[in-house]
Chains A and B, each alone.
Chain A
Amino acid sequence: MLIVVALVLIVLGSIAFHLLSPWWWTPIASNWDYIDNTLVITFWITGAVFAAIVLFMAYCVLKFRHRPGHKAEFDPENKRLEWWLTGVTAAGVAAMLVPGLFVWKQFVTVPEEATELEVFGQQWSWAYRLPGADGVLGTADAEWVNGENPLGVNPHDRFGKDDLIIEGGEVYLPVDQPVKLLLRSIDVLHNFYVPEFRAKMDMVPGMVTYIWFTPTRTGDFEVLCAEYCGTAHPFMRGYVTVVEAEEYHEWLQEQLTFEEYASNARAAQPVQLAEN
């Protein structure tokens, strides 16, 4: 009997926790409210199924619990009921899957007007690279990484010379402008994750992965690494600052191109040697 009460309380408690607790996703700051909507649909459908099954079970236990003289019914199967349940389940699954697949199509189709930003991960920090005046990112590979070239930009690629190198883990993005992130790592797997943007994707050494989104409100958003990357994984943080277009352009002016960065690094080296 206690179990009947427990089952009912579990259903009521779970629903109450869902509706009343303060733990919910963080307010969105990108165009992916479709994802949130699909999630809400899924919550409704699965929540209803959970409540229905557990409450039905509680009812069965209450109604058909053992009492002296009580006997079970011999009831091997009911084909019609089973096919009917299969059909309803299939419909419920389709109601979740179909919108999901439509949104996924959008998720993987980058709009043409999206600008590019390379996100660069290594144990355990973030850096970024933006195409320079020519609007094209130069090629890059772990092969080329050295003290003057921490991001491994291909020094023989003319498109790379004017690329902007942004170290320090903080980057600016203009609001309402779609952006395609090209994700690159030179050591282990990382994952570029900003909870407010919803999108995330692994960064795999040896290849370039991507996501895209449109920031929809200004503010500072924390970047976390979401793929385990070694001992300091939880401390691999950075910031994305979404600003209005003018402010963004001001910020752009302050950034160093790859060429400037490399010559600065070269200039700094003898000093370091002297200090040593």
Chain B
Amino acid sequence: MTVILAFLALVALVAGLWLSQQRLASKPWLETGIAPLAGHGPGRAPGFIFIAVFLAVVGGLFAMLGSAFVMQIEETPWELVPLPGRVWLNTGLLLLASLFLQFVVISARAGTARWLNASLIAASIATLAFLAGQAQVWMELTAGGYRLDGTPAASFFYLITGLHGLHVLGGIIALAAVALRHAGAGDVKALLPGVRLCALYWHGLLAFWLMLFALLQGWGNAFLALCRAAVG
């Protein structure tokens, strides 16, 4: 349960920082009048907070899976699935998608249409290639004898990558909706709120994938073993 607790500690830190701006020690019965709201200005659109909180939920989901995976590997370290090199390439693709999408945001903010469409398409292709690549890894592993209904360690690989892939797929659908809604209109800036949320979501999923990738490699367990050795 180390992974989920570490994740929640992070969430608690963010929540604590926010709470610390809410004047929790003030005495509200002594303060009459219109006080300005603390903690957020008009800059943060509700949509941004919505996606940020949603990412915390998705993060909790993957942290929980990660915890279960680490617990399982603790019991049966010899069953760890050796990841094909293709996974590294996929990770690169997802990173690329994230970067392209960030570039879309930058262009939209600047109002320059020039590279916007190209990078939007590039981001989509990189993301789809990531998904296709993950599917290929599945096939490779199944052919190699690591079946879904085999050892729990193998099942975990399919479950974790599958759920992550589903979230990426959902993101693509949202991105397509955003792009199509503004395809006709020439106004680049109108695209900004939508793609900004997509970019945030992509960065989140990339971060989760990097963490999951490390866990699937067995590094999480190695790190825990190291900590345990250091403590006792």
Contact = CB atoms under 8 A, between A and B. Distances in A.
Nearest to B29: A76
Contacts of A77: 27
A148 B134 CA distance: 48
B204 to A, nearest CB: 36
A76 B29 CA distance: 7
Interface residues of A, number: 2
Contacts of B29: 76
Nearest to A206: B75
Interface string A65-81: 00000000000110000
Contacts, number: 3
Nearest to B28: A76
A77 B27 CA distance: 10
Contacts of A76: 27, 29
A135 to B, nearest CB: 29
A100 B29 CA distance: 42
A243 B27 CA distance: 69
Interface in B5-48: 27, 29
Nearest to B30: A76
Contacts of B27: 76-77
A158 B85 CA distance: 46
Interface string A205-233: 00000000000000000000000000000
B28 to A, nearest CB: 9
A266 B1 CA distance: 47
A73 to B, nearest CB: 13
Nearest to A75: B29
A77 B29 CA distance: 10
B125 to A, nearest CB: 46
A141 to B, nearest CB: 14
A163 B27 CA distance: 72
B147 to A, nearest CB: 20
A66 B163 CA distance: 59
Nearest to B27: A76
A205 to B, nearest CB: 14
Interface string A126-140: 000000000000000
Nearest to A76: B29
A77 B30 CA distance: 12
A76 B26 CA distance: 12
A132 B29 CA distance: 76
A76 B28 CA distance: 9
Interface in A36-76: 76
Closest 3 CB pairs of A and B: A76-B29, A76-B27, A77-B27
3 contacts: A76-B27, A76-B29, A77-B27
